Amino acid sequence: MIASDLRVTSSFFKMKECIIFIDGAYLSLVSKFLGRGKPLRFDIKTFAENLAKDQNMICKEIFYYNCPPFQGTYPTKEQEKRKAGYDKFVSKLDLFGINVREGRCQMINNEYTQKGVDVLLSIDLVRKAEEIKDFILVACDTDFVPAINDIRNKNKVKIILYYFRSRDSKFSMSDHILSVCDKQVKLKKEDFEKASF
């Protein structure tokens, strides 16, 4: 083994491991905005691993949170089509070893609303803080703040938040979640393009 190989190997073993938590609905919105209304095509596993690599860390585990599409009591053909597409997508994530956590989708006042996703993510943050001390979070909801504060204070976990904000978009975000994380990194179109297929 030549000297350069030894340096690369040594650097690899010094890299910290991290766990990545992704709010799927939020990431989809960012992708669609950056794609100017058309979702960008990218591989989530590669996307997550690249985020870790950019922070000089190794991605140990990925958690992905979303909800199956709404299904009425008697699903329409369109609802069935969306559900079939979603099931295919989730099966692919499972195949790649990504932990999929599902909430539920409800229709409230003729609008689709996710339920349970924030709770699942918060539970996993607290649970995994016993195992590892570096997290990457792709999300924007302030509902995660209590869990973040808890694991940072009790478990000394360091959290890097990947987020998106733009003046010419409808993305709104409280500075609260930004302030409780150790590092904040704005998502860019290049982050998706590096994982495109």
Q: Where are the domains of the chain?
A: 15-193
156, 138, 141: which is closest to 48 by C-alpha? 138
Instruction: Look up the pTM and report it.
Output: 0.88
Angle at 196 (CA atoms; ends 192, 197), nearest 5 degrees: 165
99, 180, 181: which is closest to 135 by C-alpha? 181
What CA–CA distance (Å, rounded) separates 28 from 23?
9
Q: CB-based contacts of 159: which residues, under 8 Å, 6+ apart?
A: 135, 136, 137, 148, 151, 152, 180, 181, 182, 183
For residue 152, give the DSSP letter: H
- Rg for the chain, CA atoms, rounded: 18
Strand partners, 16: 57
177, 133, 183, 181: which is closest to 154 by C-alpha? 133
Q: The dihedral of CA 23, 112, 28, 80: what is its sign?
A: positive
> From first to last of its 197 residues, what are the pLDDT tens digits of the chain?
554 454 555 455 578 999 999 999 999 999 999 999 999 999 999 999 999 999 999 999 999 999 998 888 888 898 899 999 999 999 999 999 999 999 987 777 777 777 889 999 999 999 999 999 999 999 999 999 999 999 999 999 999 999 998 776 667 777 899 999 999 999 999 999 999 98
What CA–CA distance (Å, rounded) separates 146 from 19?
19
10, 55, 20: which is closest to 183 by C-alpha? 55
Q: What is the pLDDT at residue 161?
A: 98
Q: What is the pLDDT at residue 10?
A: 47
CATH 3.40.50.80 is held by the domain 15-193 = no
